[in-house]
Structure 1
Amino acid sequence: MNREQMSLIAHADHPIAAPLHDESVAALLDRAVGREDGRLLDLGCGSGEWLLRALVRFPRLRAVGVDLSGAALAEARTRAERLGVGDRLTLHEQDAGEFSDPDGFDLVLCVGAAHAFDGLPGTLAATAKHLAPGGRLLVGDGYFELEPNEEAKEMLGDSGDLPTVMRQVADAGLVAVHGHLSTRRELDAYEWAWTGSLASWALDHPGDPSAPLALETSARHREEWLGVYRSSWGFVTLVLRPLP
């Protein structure tokens, strides 16, 4: 089993690959979509959950997704056809940092994929360059709620606290017009779903050669969550607009 397959299994019970409940996702989309007939881009879209929910919610919206995982994009295409929105969705299997489009987008998303751009400052630069005039960004990333210990820094990097996140936003020439701090319930639910999906798959497929690895990965991530992440880690999702 490769990393792509394991990720798809892990997110089976929580397709939004971030600690956000369904109502939070809906509220963020309502705030972020400025033009209901506009164009939406998701950099690092995975199986396209944000795109699909937006297309269902806004019937005149058109969307583009970019991701390196062919398996995740195939799942997005299948679900888009099932939901009746496939004609408004375009998917590209390529590095999100190399994607280009001359027309620009009214909303650009990158939620939970900042690692693809080496952190939040790189993510803000990579997403903002795709904006059409009057466009908005929807960006989500982790931050330290409390002073991290050395183990947390080693695992999670030096992401900084929430004021650091907001300074990085301002330094990028952007203004936060709405934000959502994931609740402890959202953070815990995401982790239990993520690790639980892997464990359930392993137990349901005891003869599969990948089952031991899936079970070990589930246990390791849960141990890391309970021992490191849960004590100091938060997640913020921001609707951003560029300064004139």
Structure 2
Amino acid sequence: MDRARISDIAHADHPIRSPLDDRSVAALLDHALPRGDERVLDLGCGGAEWLLRALTTRPRAYAEGVDVSAGALARARRSADERGVGDRLVLHRQDAAIFAAARQYDVVVCVGSTHALGGLLPTLDAARGHLAPGGRILVGDGYWSGTPTREAVDMLGDLADLATTVERVAAAGWTPRYGHVSTRAELDAYEWACWGSLAAWALDHPDDPDRADALATAAERRTEWLRGYRDVFGFVSLVLGRTPE
């Protein structure tokens, strides 16, 4: 089954593709876009849900999103038009790591998509090149909240603990203005939503040729979560400003 299709189905009931609930998303946007008229860029935007929520609640904001998935961008465009914000959203089908913008932005967003740019610190480097003076970055990434198994590291990467993650961000020249550590409820709700949505789709589409693959994938990912990384994986979201030199 195509990986992009799996992701699209899995996130059908959790369009913010990270372990964050609606209240946490709103708080992060409030800290990242305090004026309400910011120009925002999302690197690896997927269905552009961060941008859509920002535009819906801030009628003077303008946004651009970058992603390689044509299907995700098409859904983002339809949703933007349905919400009445399509005239303030530009979407680019391109690799976020090589995106070259014609302007600078007040806010650069990359939550749950740092893998598309090579990891957390390369993401911050890429965002710096798009950021206007005095701008802010909204970034979200995983960390180890306990000692991972080798299998967990193979699944999710060679992450640091929370303190080390924040220290690395600071050492790279960024100061946290605000942060949110996802709760156990947010982490669990995200995983249940993803693999439950994929399994439910398979059960509801018995004639689809991808049904068996979807069921198997949902079961495998659910087991990886419950037995592999549930007790050692955390997620932190940060609103960052450039540290004065």
TM-score tier, shorter chain, comes to over 0.9
Question: Normalization by structure 1: what TM-score?
Answer: 0.98
Structure 1: segments with no counterpart, 5+ residues: none
Alignment of 1:104 with 2:101, yes or no, is no
1:19-58 pair list within 5 angstroms = 19-58=19-58
Structural RMSD (CA): 0.9
1:88-99 pair list within 5 angstroms = 88-99=88-99
- Retained in 1: the 8 A contact 2:148–2:229? no
TM-superposed CA distance for 1:114, in Å, is 1.1
What's the CA shift string for 1:180-219, capped at 9, x where partnerless? 0000000000000000110010001111110111111111
Task: Give the whole-Å Cα distance in 1 for the aligned partners of 2:34 and 2:121.
Answer: 24
The equivalent residue for 2:232 is 232
Q: Secondary structure at the match of 1:34?
A: coil
TM-superposed CA distance for 1:151, in Å, is 1.9
The equivalent residue for 1:178 is 178
Q: Secondary structure at the match of 1:207?
A: coil
- Retained in 2: the 8 A contact 1:120–1:168? no
Task: Give the whole-Å Cα distance in 2 for the aligned partners of 1:132 and 1:57.
Answer: 22
TM-superposed CA distance for 1:83, in Å, is 0.3
TM-superposed CA distance for 1:146, in Å, is 0.7
Identical columns (%): 59
What's the CA shift string for 1:12-55, capped at 9, x where partnerless? 01000000000100010001113311200000000110000000
Question: Normalization by structure 2: what TM-score?
Answer: 0.97
Task: Give the whole-Å Cα distance in 2 for the aligned partners of 1:129 and 1:181.
Answer: 27
Number of residues of Structure 1 aligned to a counterpart in Structure 2: 244
Task: Give the whole-Å Cα distance in 2 for the aligned partners of 1:25 and 1:241.
Answer: 18
- Retained in 1: the 8 A contact 2:174–2:243? yes
- Retained in 1: the 8 A contact 2:66–2:96? yes
Deviates more, 1:147-156 or 1:84-93: 147-156
Task: Give the whole-Å Cα distance in 2 for the aligned partners of 1:165 and 1:134.
Answer: 23
- Retained in 1: the 8 A contact 2:63–2:90? yes
The equivalent residue for 1:15 is 15
4+ runs deviating over 6 angstroms = none
1:155-170 pair list within 5 angstroms = 155-170=155-170
Structure 2: segments with no counterpart, 5+ residues: none
